[in-house]
Amino acid sequence: MSAEIREYLRAYWVAGRKSYSQGKAIWAGVLTLASGLGLTGLSRIIPQVPVWLGPACIAAYVIGAVFIYWPYRMWKLQRAEIAQLTLPQGPIPDMPIAELFDLVGHDDPEKGMTQVGLAILDKLSTGQLNGWGRTQEVRVGTPFVPIEQGYWAIAGWTYNFLAEKKDSLADDVHVWPRLSTGQHLYDVHVNRAQALRIWRRAKKP
């Protein structure tokens, strides 16, 4: 199975999880199954009731949920992200790096801090995720600058932005190059829509 298909199926499953709470999904499934079995049994007692009515009831529920409601929910949940990704100016820096680390770590709790940092660097260095940073401390007031894709191949995190390390709003260096001639960067941000498309959490609504 290709990576694109796996990503689509994962997004499809996430949309389904967000479409129903667990309780609603269980009760809807139980009621539909009970109705289908009841109609099947009724067809054996009353000849006027078609034999196919029970299975048709269950099939209608499955088809409606899987092929109509879930795709609609998936489109509705992702349309804001899609709109942002298609802005004329392109993706914007609207997600602090500390929040991204929290997202990726929550998505896979087995990963340690270093593994999470490497996973994020992989997406940045391959161009799947855009990054921005400031060349000086936040208090100086320097604007965001796009971080070139090639920079991430020689970059490393300071981890000073993590809550357990220090206040994420502090003016510490967030990312540094492993070359003396490289630029240290502060207040690193990424694009939220891109991040969520890569590491979307399967959370209940």
Tokens of 178: 């492993």
Tens-digit pLDDT profile for residues 135-154: 887 666 788 999 999 999 88
Number of other CB atoms surrounding residue 155 within 10 Å: 24
This prediction has a pTM of: 0.56
Number of H helices, E strands in the chain: 7, 6
Tokens of 64: 């409606």
Tens-digit pLDDT profile for residues 179-195: 666 788 988 999 988 89
Question: SS3 letters for 15-76?
Answer: HHHHHCCHHHHHHHHHHHHHHHHHHHHHHHHCCCCCCCHHHHHHHHHHHHHHHHHHHHHHHH
Q: Are 16 and 205 in contact (CB under 8 A)?
A: no
Taking the alpha carbons at both ends of the chain, their separation in whole angstroms is 29
